Structure 1
Amino acid sequence: MLVHPWDASLDEAEWRAWIAEGHDFGQLIVNGADGRPPVVVPTHFTCHGDHLLVHLARPNPVWTAIEHDPNVTFTVIGDYAYIPGTWRAKAGTPPSDGVPTSYYSTVQFTCRADIVDDPETKAELLRRQMAHFQPDGEHAPIAVDQPPYGRMLAGIRGLHLQVADVVAKFKYDDQKPVEHRAAVAEALAGRDQGLDTATANQQRRRLDRIGPWNA
């Protein structure tokens, strides 16, 4: 992934905060076995220390690929929007001379995958995930010897994804003048389609932290 200096995460806390804001759904990407295409699995995940926690159905074809090569990538994308060229034209030039682009945030984790088959370890993985996704409770105990989860554990496998590297990118034209970025954020909020408002919020947040870009 290309990351220009102005697109890079300002610090580790920035991408961690972005993930913690609810960006907890991504794609697990595993090298295909025997020259086959990569296997890509969309899934929720939970951060736990330097691990990502995932569980998937036992029939999922990803297991063969992981057993062949446990080195995987997990990617999360959000707060994205199409930016028309007319919004990006330089001051004093015709709007039609502007070149369109995409804005987005993404965090890519390089990991080593450890498959979890032990029932109690799977139950603990699910308890951690449930504490994140359903913190108010209102679910049956997740225990190997109690229904409904106990009898369902055999149908899933867990993954501990040991994070080896993280690359984060926040692509919001931070190299452009302050006035330009503020105007695009305003245009996004006015269009208000899809993730426009979330994208505008990210651009404004970065603008507040960075101010004028200083190479």
Structure 2
Amino acid sequence: MLIHPWDAPRDDAEWQEWLGAHDFGQLAVNGLPGEPPHVQPLHFAYDAGRAEVVTHLARPNPLWPALEADPDVLLSVVDDYVYVPGPWQAPRDVPPEHGVPTSFYAAVQLRCRAHIVDDPAEKAVFLNRQVGHFQPEGGSVPVAAGEEPFGRMLSGIRVLRLEVVGVRAKFKYASHKPQEVQDQVVAGLAARGGPRDAAAREHQVRRRGVWSAAR
């Protein structure tokens, strides 16, 4: 993923806060020799303090042999993406039809080392942590090995503890564009009001001045 200086996060807190609210992504696992990579959509729970991700997959999933052969994986999360029409990006001294369209998006890629957890008691601990992330209000019986209602299901899954060893984050929201162009895009997003337009607009407004401050 190409990250221009003006698209880089201000600090770790920026991407960590965003990732804390985005817990569905795609896990990329290197394929076995002669095979393409595996790309698995999944929910996950990210823990900034532990620098790790917890998730689980069904035991019959075909990616396990590849993961066991090479535990170095990439978890990719992309959201708040929108299409920006060319006229919105045209400077005032340029005909609107000469404006260049682009995409806005936020993305975080976590390079991880995967650890497979098969012990039933350990799986229960990690599953309860993941459920606690998604259901902080409770409402479910805790998972316990050998106990109903979920203990008997533990044999059908494997837990993945992903140790984060590297991070690449990007907020592509025209931070390097002239103020007049940014204002046009902000107005365009507000007027269009499509899916994710409000989130993209918030990013763009929040990141104003990032590029000028970095130079």
TM range (shorter): over 0.9
TM-score (norm 1): 0.95
Query: Which position in structure 2 is the counterpart of 1:201?
Result: 202
Query: Which position in structure 1 is the counterpart of 2:17?
Result: 17
C-alpha change, 1:59 and 1:189, in structure 2 (3 Å) is same
Give the CA deviation at 1:214.
Answer: 5.4
Q: 1:138-164: per-residue Cα shift (whole Å, max 9, x none)? A: 111211122121011111000011111
Give the letter for the 2:198 counterpart.
Answer: T
How many pairs does the alignment contain?
213
Give the letter for the 1:14 counterpart.
Answer: E
TM-score (norm 2): 0.95
Which runs of structure 2 are paired with 1:30-41 in the superposition (5 Å)?
30-41=29-40
Distance 1:127 1:201 in 2: 33
Which runs of structure 2 are paired with 1:157-176 in the superposition (5 Å)?
157-176=158-177
What SS does the corresponding residue of 1:34 show, helix, strand or coil? coil
Displacement over 6 Å in runs of 4+: none
Distance 1:148 1:12 in 2: 40
Give the CA deviation at 1:175.
Answer: 0.4
What SS does the corresponding residue of 2:207 show, helix, strand or coil? helix
Query: Which position in structure 2 is the counterpart of 1:8?
Result: 8
What SS does the corresponding residue of 2:33 show, helix, strand or coil? helix
Query: Which position in structure 2 is the counterpart of 1:210?
Result: 210
What SS does the corresponding residue of 1:107 show, helix, strand or coil? strand
What SS does the corresponding residue of 1:33 show, helix, strand or coil? coil
* Bigger Cα displacement from structure 2, 100-109 vs 190-199: 190-199
Q: 1:6-42: per-residue Cα shift (whole Å, max 9, x none)? A: 011110010001112x201000000000221100000
Query: Which position in structure 2 is the counterpart of 1:74?
Result: 75
Query: Which position in structure 1 is the counterpart of 2:180?
Result: 179
Give 5+ residue unaligned stretches, structure 2. none
For the 8 Å contact 1:178–1:212, the answer to whether it is kept is no
What SS does the corresponding residue of 1:132 show, helix, strand or coil? helix
Q: 1:44-88: per-residue Cα shift (whole Å, max 9, x none)? A: 111121111110111111111101111100000011000011111
C-alpha change, 1:152 and 1:9, in structure 2 (3 Å) is same
Distance 1:114 1:136 in 2: 29
Distance 1:129 1:202 in 2: 28
Give 5+ residue unaligned stretches, structure 1. none
